[in-house]
């Protein structure tokens, strides 16, 4: 494969929400970049060279220098291309709150969503209960810390850091539902689901998310579930 | 208890490395603050009010507004009191590298150190092996990404973000060794241990760390180990 020559190169894989985050930030800020699709079953020498610690996508390579980990990359993009629009709010307290909830999403909610799809029966019921409790914490926390209007960062009518961090993952819930027949009940999380619905309709998000059917098929394959299971309630 | 009236209040507990981090950053930047010692076996109403999500220390309350999670607090302190000295480097790429290794320390090395002290026998041997492998990754990564001279952030002769994040924890390794008789072998990690030794000698670090004997006693109590165990090699 020819070595990418662009000033900004993103190594990613189409189904990864972490990679979608970086693409959203780059597009939002109007940064031209070259995208290199990685096959995670056969990682390229470039990826292993640029991210020897975690050996994961996304990796952003800027003028030959690599940065790994999606949240670190988002901060870098804001620090480096510090012309508007910024992805993080400018107010220090709002920045802190955005970082707090981004970490909460990554450290609590994403692992909990894996626990749901990787479990069965009674264990899955408990996992779903915990997942919903965490969504309630997120919903109430965001309502308390920010205005809840979309986009909720309270500064402007475009995507902010949390919209990107949460949206890139949560906008795929429907594909996950279709793949493993676990339903996120709208009535229990009206604010969260209204936010996700609006994010999905946002043109930049819509054009950057992986195609629904392709993603559902990948997830179905990944979680080795040929047919839907029925779970009556959450 | 009388309610703290200061503009900056830190809720912490003396033995917590996460709280030491915040104290180091506040002192380094010359920010006056009131310290409230929490008893984690009987958490105060204030702590539960200010950090309802994690119910943990440290919590920094600035003009009545709370911020939780030590790395988020450190970023806030730098964002808010943005007069020099900054704790994070100013260069975007150096900032990204510092954030990457801070996350690596918190997400990989600290959990691995717990795995060492909470295991026994063959399991502990494996845990020690993994802990040492992670330290090697950290050591080599830092050597590659920064100049290794102390302090290694490459900008000045005072504590930086990584010195604070790693130092507040790693400077307690000797107390941990004394408590559970697990030795970090200097010959295997010369760069890391030389860095930690220099950090411990740094006056601000020295005066902020918990007293060695008191901490070793607390750890001994915590890990319920009355006597030392012998582990010949790492």
The alpha carbons of chain A give a radius of gyration, in whole angstroms, of 18
* CATH (domain of B36): 3.40.30.10
At A1 the pLDDT is 55
pLDDT of residue A79: 96
CA distance B148 to B195: 8
Q: What is the pLDDT of residues B182-205, one digit of tens each?
A: 776 667 888 888 888 889 989 999
CB distance B68–A100 less than 8 Å?
yes
Based on the domain organization, do B131 and B23 belong to the same domain? Answer: no
Distance CA B67, CA B61 (A): 6
Q: What are the tokens at A55?
A: 């050996």
The per-residue pLDDT for A227 is 40
Residues B148 and B109 in one domain: yes
B53/B116 same-domain check: no
CB contact under 8 A, B69 and A137: no
Cα distances from B199 to residues B16, B34, B142, in angstroms, run: 17, 25, 16
The structure tokens listed for B2 are 């009388």
Burial-class residue A224 by CB neighbours within 10 Å (0-12, 13-18, 19+): exposed
Residue A234 lies in a domain: no
Nearest CB to A96; choose among B75, B97, B137: B75
B170 has a chain A CB within 8 A of its CB = no
pLDDT at residue A83, rounded to an integer: 79
- Clarify whether residues A102 and A213 are in a common domain: yes
A75 touches B at CB < 8 Å = yes
**Do B171 and B214 touch, CB atoms closer than 8 A?**
no
The pLDDT score that the predictor gives to residue B117 is: 84
Domain count, chain A: 2
Is residue B63 in some structural domain?
A: yes
Q: Are A204 and A23 in contact (CB under 8 A)?
A: no
Q: What strands lie across the sheet with B8-12, from one edge to the other?
A: B34-37, B8-12, B59-62, B65-68
Beta carbons of B34 and B9 less than 8 angstroms apart: yes
Q: Are A165 and A74 in contact (CB under 8 A)?
A: yes
Specify the pLDDT at position B192.
87
- The domain containing residue B137 runs over which residues? 92-222
* Whole-number average pLDDT of chain B: 88
Answer yes or no: do B99 and B71 share one domain. no
**Which CATH number fits the domain that encloses residue A165?**
1.20.1050.10
Q: Which of A65, A75, A96 sits opposite B76 (nearest CB)?
A: A96
Contacts of residue B53, defined as CB under 8 A and 6 or more positions apart, other chains included, come to A104, A137, A141, B68
Q: Which of A34, A60, A80 finishes a domain?
A: A80
Residue B228 to residue A93: CA distance in whole angstroms:
46
Q: Does some domain include residue A1?
A: no
Contact A65 B93 (CB under 8 A): yes
List, in order, residues 6 or more apart from A227 with CB less than 8 Å away: none
> Which residue stretches of chain A have pLDDT < 50?
153-155, 225-234
> For the CA atoms of chain B, what is the radius of gyration?
18
Q: Give residues 34 to 53 of A whose Cβ lies within 8 Å of B.
A: 53
Distances (CA, A) of B16 to A146, B40, B114, B196, B223: 30, 11, 14, 17, 15
Contact A99 B72 (CB under 8 A): yes
In a domain, A127, yes or no: yes
Look at residue B198 and give its three-state secondary structure. helix
* Spacing of C-alpha A122 from chain mean position: 28
Residues B47 and B103 in one domain: no
Question: Is residue B230, in this structure, part of any structural domain at all?
Answer: no
What is the rounded end-to-end Cα distance, in angstroms, of chain B?
A: 48
**How close B92 comes to chain A (CA, Å)?**
5
Q: Are residues B118 and B61 in the same domain?
A: no
- How high is the ipTM of this complex? 0.92
- The number of angstroms, rounded, from the C-alpha of B35 to the middle of its chain's C-alpha atoms is 18
* Average pLDDT, integer, range B118-124: 89
- Is-contact B152 B195, C-beta < 8 A? yes
Determine, yes or no, domain membership for B1: no
At A149 the pLDDT is 52
- Residues A99, B72 contacting (CB under 8 angstroms): yes
Q: Which of B31, B52, B80 is the last residue of a domain?
A: B80
Instruction: Let me know if residue A133 belongs to a domain.
Output: yes
* Residue B116 sits in the same domain as residue B203: yes
Angle at alpha carbon of residue B215, lines to B213 and B221, rounded to 5°: 105
State pLDDT tens for residues B15-46. Answer: 999 999 999 999 999 999 999 999 999 999 99
* Helix, strand, coil percentages, rounded to 5, for chain B: 55, 5, 35
Would you state the pLDDT for residue A59? 98
Residue A3 lies in a domain: no
Residue B67 and residue B99 in one domain:
no
pLDDT per residue as tens digits for the range B41-91: 999 999 999 999 999 999 999 999 999 999 999 999 999 998 768 999 999
A29 to chain B, any CB pair closer than 8 A? The answer is no
Same domain as A100, residue A24: no
For residue B220, is pLDDT > 60?
Answer: yes
Which long-range contacts does B200-203 make (Cβ < 8 Å, 24+ apart)?
Answer: B200/B167, B200/B171, B202/B159, B202/B163
Contact map slice: B 110-169 vs A, CB within 8 A: 137, 141
Report chain A residues whose CB lies below 8 A from the CB of B137. Answer: 53
- What pLDDT was estimated at residue B181? 75
Residue pair B204/B157 in contact (Cβ under 8 Å)? The answer is no
pLDDT, residue B224, reads 63
Inform me whether the pLDDT recorded for B154 exceeds 90. Answer: no
Q: Are residues B52 and B97 in the same domain?
A: no
Distance from B226 to chain A by nearest Cα, in Å?
Answer: 35
Gap between the Cα atoms of B223 and B11, Å rounded: 24
User: pLDDT class for B231, splitting at 50, 70, 90?
Assistant: very low
Q: Give the count of beta carbons closer than 10 Å to the beta carbon of residue A190.
A: 10
For residue B47, the model assigns a pLDDT of: 97
Strand ranges, E, within chain B: 8-12, 34-37, 59-62, 65-68
How do residues A47-74 score in pLDDT, each as one tens digit? 999 999 999 999 999 999 999 999 999 9
| B217 shares its domain with B107 | yes
Spatial separation of the C-alpha atoms in residues B68 and A96, rounded to whole Å? 9
Residues B178 and B207: their CA atoms lie apart, in Å, by: 20
DSSP string, chain A: -PPP-SSEEEEE-TT-HHHHHHHHHHHHTT---EEEE--TTS--HHHHHH-TTT--S-EEEETTEEEESHHHHHHHHHHHS-SSSPSS-SSHHHHHHHHHHHHHIIIIIHHHHHHHHT--HHHHHHHHHHHHHHHHHHHHHHHHHS--SSSTTSS-SS--HHHHHHHHHHTTHHHHHHHH-----GGG-HHHHHHHHHHHHSHHHHHHSPPHHHHHHHHHHHTT--S-------
Assign B179 a pLDDT band (cuts: 50, 70, 90): confident
Which whole-number Å values give the CA distances from A209 to A18, A20, A95, A201, B6, in the listed order? 11, 7, 25, 11, 47
């Amino acid at each position: 494969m020819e070595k990418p020559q662009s000033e900004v190169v993103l190594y990613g894989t189409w189904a990864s929400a972490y990679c979608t985050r970086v693409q959203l930030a780059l597009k939002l800020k109007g940064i031209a970049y070259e995208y290199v699709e990685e096959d995670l079953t056969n990682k390229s020498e470039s990826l292993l060279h640029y991210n020897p610690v975690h050996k994961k996508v996304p990796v952003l390579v800027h003028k030959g220098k690599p940065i790994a980990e999606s949240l670190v990359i988002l901060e870098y993009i804001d620090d480096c291309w510090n012309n508007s629009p910024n992805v993080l709010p400018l107010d220090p307290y709002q920045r802190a709150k955005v970082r707090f909830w981004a970490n909460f999403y990554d450290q609590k909610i994403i692992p909990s969503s894996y626990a749901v799809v990787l479990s069965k029966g009674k264990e899955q019921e408990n996992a779903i209960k915990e997942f919903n409790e965490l969504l309630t914490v997120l919903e109430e926390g965001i309502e308390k810390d920010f205005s809840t209007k979309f986009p909720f960062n309270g500064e402007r009518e475009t995507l902010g850091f949390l919209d990107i961090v949460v949206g890139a993952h949560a906008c795929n819930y429907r594909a996950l539902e279709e793949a493993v027949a676990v339903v996120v009940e709208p009535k229990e999380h009206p604010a969260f689901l209204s936010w996700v619905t609006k994010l999905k309709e946002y043109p930049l998000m819509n054009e950057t998310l992986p195609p629904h059917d392709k993603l559902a098929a990948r997830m179905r394959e990944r979680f080795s579930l040929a047919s839907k299971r029925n779970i009556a309630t959450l």
